[in-house]
Chain A
């Protein structure tokens, strides 16, 4: 069964304390892996798409990487405004359907 698992469920960091969020997946034939940021009461905001193992993408303090079984979202020197829930999703072959993880709630303390 296709599945996405994110860890940890919640993470508290001090401002400037770098860390990584994990997204493990099982899907037969990955078409794409997607990272989103979601603020409370709002819709998810698209961050990155990764297509193949070894690929990396960066945006400001965020860097996403992909292996054959998992993806990491690295946050370097986070700021309080990086506090949000980060969602991971995968898309398998022959379908437009995403499988979402339940997210990591990140809190960055000043």
Chain B
């Protein structure tokens, strides 16, 4: 079974803090993704990576950066958290086609 794990299920941070969300997959997948999910807006792609050290912007990259130093690990960084970044963050990985998701991190920025 594919397993995608995320470092935290729930996280509360203050405005202006630097936030790291980590994702690890165990299927040797080339591609990894970060989404945020908000009510009424669905899943929106923040960044994705198709190889180590390679990244591409998704639909809403502003305020975020990513890092992929190892194939199995993909990190999402909020350089200076803001209240409008309160959301559910979902990591996914894929080989050829279907994406497999982690359990999500519910981030609250106060």
Contact = CB atoms under 8 A, between A and B. Distances in A.
Interface of A: 31-32, 34, 36, 41-46, 49, 87, 89, 91, 96-98, 100-103
Best-surrounded residue of B40, B58, B97, B103 (most CB of chain A within 10 A): B97
Given A43-B103, A44-B90, A103-B42, A96 B50 contact: yes
Given A34-B97, A89-B43, A96-B94, 14 more contacts: A34-B98, A34-B99, A43-B90, A43-B101, A43-B104, A44-B101, A49-B98, A91-B97, A96-B48, A96-B50, A97-B45, A98-B45, A101-B42, A102-B40
Contacts of A87: 42-43
A46 B100 contact: yes
A49 B97 contact: yes
Contact of B42 (A34, A46, A100): A100
Nearest to B88: A41
29 contacts: A34-B98, A34-B99, A36-B101, A41-B104, A41-B106, A42-B104, A43-B90, A43-B101, A43-B102, A43-B104, A45-B101, A46-B99, A46-B100, A46-B101, A49-B98, A87-B42, A89-B43, A89-B99, A96-B31, A96-B50, A96-B94, A97-B48, A97-B58, A98-B45, A100-B42, A100-B43, A101-B42, A102-B41, A103-B42
